[in-house]
Structure formats: C-alpha cells, structure tokens
Chains A and B, each alone.
Chain A
Amino acid sequence: GESVGLHLPTLSVQEGDNSIINCAYSNSASDYFIWYKQESGKGPQFIIDIRSNMDKRQGQRVTVLLNKTVKHLSLQIAATQPGDSAVYFCAENGRGAQKLVFGQGTRLTINP
C-alpha cells in the first residue's frame, strides 16, 4: 500500500550548520511532493514543493531533492536558525488522487 516515511524521527544540529531531513515513499505513481513545517501549537506551514518532472528545487535557505529511482525525497536547510526548530513532514500526492499522504515527521532541534 501507499506509505510515506522518514528515516529519522529526530534530528539535532548546531545553529548555523546545514540540516538534511529525509523521506522515503513507496507509491511510484506519486508525482507531487510537499514539505511542511509544524511548530508547536500551530498548523503545518508550507515550505516548498516539487513535481516529479524535476529533481531539485530551491527556495530561500531550503532545497528539496527528489530521486525517483529510489523513491527518496530530502529537504536541506542551510545555515539553520533557532526558528527552524519544528517537526517537518513530507507529503505526496499520487497522480489523480485528491489527497495528500503525509510521512511520519522528523523533529528538528537547533542547538545554540
């Protein structure tokens, strides 16, 4: 069945370092992927998305990489700041599906 999962449930990095959050998916029909950030007590906030016809997309301090061969998605955050501390979810949408399937989430902690 469909599943979207993450390799690591928690990740701690030093402030100023780069962080990489990984996500594996199993649905080969997935063609749209989103990364969300959820801070404590808040709803998920859109970070960046990528379509399956791309393998890399960059935003402000964030980069998403998509490897369709191994069904792997990653989110790179450059020069992490305390405000980056949150739970990060990947989500995928299969072609023709009307819903997103969320991964289990990774808690990112930024150490001062």
Chain B
Amino acid sequence: DTEVTQTPKHLVMGMTNKKSLKCEQHMGHRAMYWYKQKAKKPPELMFVYSYEKLSINESVPSRFSPECPNSSLLNLHLHALQPEDSALYLCASSQEPLSALSYNEQFFGPGTRLTVL
C-alpha cells in the first residue's frame, strides 16, 4: 500500500456544524501533515505531526483541531468554520520528519474539497 487516502472527498457544512476530515496511510511513515489549498494557489502548511506528536502549528485558528490517534491516522476536526475556510484540504505523509539529517518526499492524498456555507 503506497498511498495516502482521505475521506470524505467532498464536504459541505454550515458555519455551526462540527465535522471531521480523515487521513490514513499504511506506509509506516512517521510524519504526517495537513495543508490547505485555495484555488490556483500552492498548498499552505497547517500542521505537522512527528511520531504522533504535534510538532508544528502554523498559527492555525482554533476552529481547526488536529488529532493523531495512531501512526497511521490523522484527523482534522472542524467547528464553527467560516466561508473563507472553503478550500481543498490535503493530507501528506513522509517516511521521517524533514530535518537536517533526513531528506524524504512527502506523499499527498487526493484531498477533501470543503465548502462552508
């Protein structure tokens, strides 16, 4: 299994809803990432988990709450989102966290297309 899977593919939610995005990989990767991508823009890093611990939070609003239940799973809990949060949310994983000692590619999932009404 050499892929990152994400569910759901599409999600429409109201501003008062609570929903979760899910990401899964079975490549034994120890780093996992959440990115947000607006149309015609590059992916923007949101969170990094290294060995199941949150290592980077790029000053993301608290209405986005990441969770890493185990080394294969990564969730993004959504609550009280705004219409401007509508975007493609990408999950990625890499064998090891990026560091001075480790150069390894990030594998991306297909993303969840989120629309906030």
A46 to B41, CA, bound (A): 17
Contact, CB under 8 Å: A98 / B48: yes
Give how many A-B residue pairs fall within 8 Å (CB-CB): 59
Contact, CB under 8 Å: A98 / B90: no
Q: Which residues of B contact A76 (CB under 8 A)?
A: none
User: Any chain A CB within 8 A of the CB of B64?
Assistant: no
Residue from A41, A95, A97, A99 whose CB has the most chain B CB atoms within 10 Å: A99
Contact, CB under 8 Å: A98 / B55: yes
Contact, CB under 8 Å: B98 / A97: yes
User: Any chain B CB within 8 A of the CB of A93?
Assistant: yes
User: Any chain B CB within 8 A of the CB of A1?
Assistant: no
A93 to B99, CA, bound (A): 9
Contact, CB under 8 Å: B100 / A96: yes
A100-B108 contact, Cβ under 8 Å, with A44-B90, A95-B100: no
Q: How large is the interface on B (under 10, 10 to 19, 20 to 34, 35 or more residues)?
A: 20 to 34
Contact, CB under 8 Å: B108 / A103: no
A105 to B39, CA, bound (A): 11
Contact, CB under 8 Å: A43 / B105: no
Contact, CB under 8 Å: A99 / B42: no
Query: Which of B99, B103, B110 touches A43 (beta carbons < 8 Å)?
Result: B110
Contact, CB under 8 Å: B110 / A98: no
A100-B106 contact, Cβ under 8 Å, with A93-B98, A105-B42: yes
Known: A34-B105, A42-B111, A99-B56. 4 other contacts (CB 8 A): A46-B105, A89-B43, A97-B98, A98-B48
Binding site for A on B (CB under 8 A): 4, 33, 40-45, 48, 50, 55-56, 58, 90, 92, 97-100, 103, 105-111
